Structure 1
Amino acid sequence: MTNPQPDTVSPADPRRTLRAAVGALICVHAAMAATRVTASLLVLQQGYPEWTVGALLSLFAVAPLGLSLWAGRLADRHGLHRPLAVGVAMGAVGAAAAVLSQHPVALSFAALATGGAVAVAAVGIQREAGLLAREPSDLKRVFSWIALGPALSNALAPIIVGLLIDHVGFRAGFVFALLLPAIAWWLGRQVPRAVVTAPRAAEEDSRGRPRTAWGLLRMVSLRRLLLVNLALSACWDAHTFAVPVLGHARGLSASSIGLILGSFAVAATLVRLAISRWAEHLEERRALRRAMALATAVCVVYPWLPGVPGMLAGSALLGLALGSVQPMILSMLHQVTPSDRHGQALGLRMLVTNGATIVMPSGFGFLAALTVPAAPLWLMGSLVLGAQLAARRIEPAPG
């Protein structure tokens, strides 16, 4: 395996840099999560139908489709601070719009802006984190901490927003979201401003044409890695869809369904903490394939797990499997792509993931309606099993 080749001057204190980067990612992501929860509840409280909520939620994933590749080029060319500044500005403007007006049009704009903010900032932060690593085990450790950012924000933001809505009002939830980008910017300023040393010629091919992210798809290992990432992301979405549907069919209470979903999130968080501790003992491909095998097995048997205890155990096992793959995939992505184009590769990955997030839930709904509620899980288990071949054949870039 090749060691990552940084193209910026290394910061003096990598641990401090990593803490600041993770903190900034948590704040930007939490601003989006807080806006998402507050806007969803507000739309329902205003009497709009459930499909309106679904349409609003889909908007959070729309902006990343158009911004991810641009964010990757921006990060490769300017480092962390430029994309973080753009993400912070987008998050602040989106949340401010929701503070000023709770009309559905304003909420839709807030969804687009805060969703896009995460895409732009996350690509820059992930690229910066990769520069802190000096060997593959460092990559796994660094990205296990980076992966904790969305997990923690998704766990904490809804709780805080719920309390604010109950005790102050809906506008308070949006004000909370508005404050977070400012904190993210302050944390980002704690990261030393690196000098990008990659030559501008690296942005052109041998014929002098601009090198786009789509050109990276000529790399076979990257295509295989993105295929694996897509299958595992879809499996995550299938679990999120299937648990409420299966729970409702079994007559479970809302609190029980929430507890089952919570067990998945807790397991995903714990496994990422474990990876940060024992990263040097893990080999990416082997760990990835084992996680995929476990995910396949759980998807197949999940519909027959008995009662709440069975579903709790199944969700926790699936959380362990799927929670472990993001650090591995991000680590491998940095090894199969050129160091001067990591930002573009990260943007391409985010584009693929968000595209699946928009399409898959609707597809799961139609599939479950036409067949049985467990069908999405079985389908995703089959796809993950098929992706094992691609995972087995991923190789690091030469050099």
Structure 2
Amino acid sequence: MTRTQLFRLVIAQVFLHASMTGLRLATPLLALSLGYSPGAVGALIALFALSQVFLAIPAGKYADHHGLRRPMGFAVSAAALALTLAAIFPYVPMLCVAALMSGASAGVTTIVLQRHIGRAARSAAQRRLFFSWLAIAPAVSNFLGPFGAGLVIDHAGRTPNDLLAFRVCFGLLALLPLLAWLLLMRVRELPYEPVNPHAAPTHAWDLLRLPNFRYILFVNWLQSASWDIHAFLVPVLGHERGLSASMIGTILGAFAVAAAAIRMSLPVIAARFAEKQVIAASCVITVLVFAVYPLAGGPVAMVACSVVLGAALGCVQPMIMSLLTQVTPASRQGEALGLRLMAINASSFLMPMVAGSFGALIGVASVFWVVAALVAVGAPVVRRITLPAEESRPVDG
């Protein structure tokens, strides 16, 4: 795969993901302006992740059998249709449908593009580099989507919370998937395994019989759970210490900025260090930060902890993707990526509730130390991951 094709894939994911993140900002604002309760708004936001839990594995299997363009065609169509319907009928029942469709589109896009670049890489070093570049796309779209949607909502209407402003916002967001498709049409399709009607059906859970797959999935869960628990515990800890809402937001914002910044520099890191080295270093830093976080006496120290943790956790996903591609059979890589995405989304739903329950029993500070202990106990699993010998092949472009 040439650098130009890689660039097209990265920008295509930016467009598709930004359409979802923009909708995810606009929908709660519209629902609140229509008089719905915060509880209803929370349920509406949850729908963006719900569809990914159930569609991740089928989407991965479909990508294994049909390659890049066909599943991406469905993802683009779903995203564009969701936003078009929201623009025509900007009411909460339709926003629920749009949230499900847009979330599904984002999940399918993630799986299909990760599978494609993993198969396109011709060496382990190139695979790390490709995944590092692709990891930049969500970081960019998480800023561009909400920022752009917010600007349109504020300036396109005649009055605050004008319904016309939301219609214009949804209509403009609907153009982004179409721009993504124009880029994807010029990406070369890779060979894929067509559906054999006589083949025995496979089950995604069979992949858990592979020791390396289990180890990688477990390490990925440790890192993802640390990310989710941090996002939940910081507001609780800040509230206990009497910090203002803006200061708590600053602490969480520092985490997001650090995670995005480290992903911008990942191509350089990936060229110098192997996947297991990066993941092991991230685990060590995560343990240390969670251990000292409750001891951080003021907001400046908490911001520092948040920055270090964001940098440590932000660099893990591309390395996990690279390892997963190497240890999974080529014909089932999409299925493996789907199983991973399903597990991560399910964890994102459950872990805040678990952390909240423990926090009520043993205190918020103690939960930080429990997480540090869990990561410390689980981190040695990284050393048990064994990779197949791989010869480096020439790089395209």
SS in 2 for 1:124: helix
* Residue identity in the other structure for 2:259: A
Matches within 5 A, 1:88-167: 88-167=76-155
User: Are residues 1:20 and 2:15 paired?
Assistant: no
User: Are residues 1:65 and 2:53 paired?
Assistant: yes
- Which moved further from structure 2: 61-70 or 259-268? 259-268
CA distance in 1, matches of 2:201, 2:389: 23
CA distance in 1, matches of 2:301, 2:146: 26
CA distance in 1, matches of 2:179, 2:20: 14
SS in 1 for 2:257: helix
Aligned residues: 382
Give the equivalent residue in structure 1 for 2:372.
381
On the 8 A contact 1:235/1:377 being kept in 2, the answer is no
* Residue identity in the other structure for 1:121: T
Give the equivalent residue in structure 2 for 1:7.
none
CA distance in 2, matches of 1:347, 1:114: 17
Shift of 1:323: 0.5
CA distance in 2, matches of 1:280, 1:20: 21
User: Are residues 1:54 and 2:45 paired?
Assistant: no
Give the equivalent residue in structure 2 for 1:331.
322
Shift of 1:396: 2.0
Residues 102 and 371 of structure 1: is their aligned pair in 2 closer, same or farther, counting only changes over 3 Å? farther
* Residue identity in the other structure for 2:40: T
User: Are residues 1:183 and 2:176 paired?
Assistant: no
Residues 177 and 387 of structure 1: is their aligned pair in 2 closer, same or farther, counting only changes over 3 Å? farther
Matches within 5 A, 1:311-330: 311-330=302-321
- Which moved further from structure 2: 177-186 or 111-120? 177-186
Q: Which runs of 5+ in 1 are unaligned?
A: 1-10
Q: Which runs of 5+ in 2 are unaligned?
A: 157-164, 391-397
Give the equivalent residue in structure 1 for 2:331.
340
SS in 1 for 2:120: coil
Give the equivalent residue in structure 2 for 1:8.
none
* Residue identity in the other structure for 2:15: C
| Deviation by residue 1:240-275 (Cα, 9 ceiling, x = unmatched) | 112222233333333323322222122112222322
Shift of 1:117: 0.5
Shift of 1:369: 3.9
CA distance in 1, matches of 2:244, 2:179: 37
On the 8 A contact 1:31/1:178 being kept in 2, the answer is yes
Residues 59 and 199 of structure 1: is their aligned pair in 2 closer, same or farther, counting only changes over 3 Å? closer
CA distance in 2, matches of 1:45, 1:379: 40
User: Are residues 1:237 and 2:225 paired?
Assistant: no
CA distance in 2, matches of 1:364, 1:51: 20
Shift of 1:72: 1.0
Residues 130 and 96 of structure 1: is their aligned pair in 2 closer, same or farther, counting only changes over 3 Å? same
CA distance in 2, matches of 1:19, 1:222: 29
User: Are residues 1:172 and 2:168 paired?
Assistant: yes
Residues 299 and 172 of structure 1: is their aligned pair in 2 closer, same or farther, counting only changes over 3 Å? farther
On the 8 A contact 1:238/1:376 being kept in 2, the answer is no
On the 8 A contact 1:61/1:357 being kept in 2, the answer is no
CA distance in 1, matches of 2:171, 2:354: 35
SS in 1 for 2:265: helix
TM-score for the superposition, normalised by structure 1: 0.90
Shift of 1:164: 1.5
* Residue identity in the other structure for 2:133: W
CA distance in 2, matches of 1:138, 1:32: 29
* Residue identity in the other structure for 1:322: L
- Which moved further from structure 2: 143-152 or 246-255? 246-255
On the 8 A contact 1:86/1:121 being kept in 2, the answer is no
Residues 328 and 194 of structure 1: is their aligned pair in 2 closer, same or farther, counting only changes over 3 Å? closer
Residues 135 and 194 of structure 1: is their aligned pair in 2 closer, same or farther, counting only changes over 3 Å? closer
Shift of 1:223: 0.9
On the 8 A contact 2:116/2:190 being kept in 1, the answer is no
CA distance in 2, matches of 1:179, 1:375: 47
* Residue identity in the other structure for 2:65: R
- Which moved further from structure 2: 32-41 or 187-196? 187-196
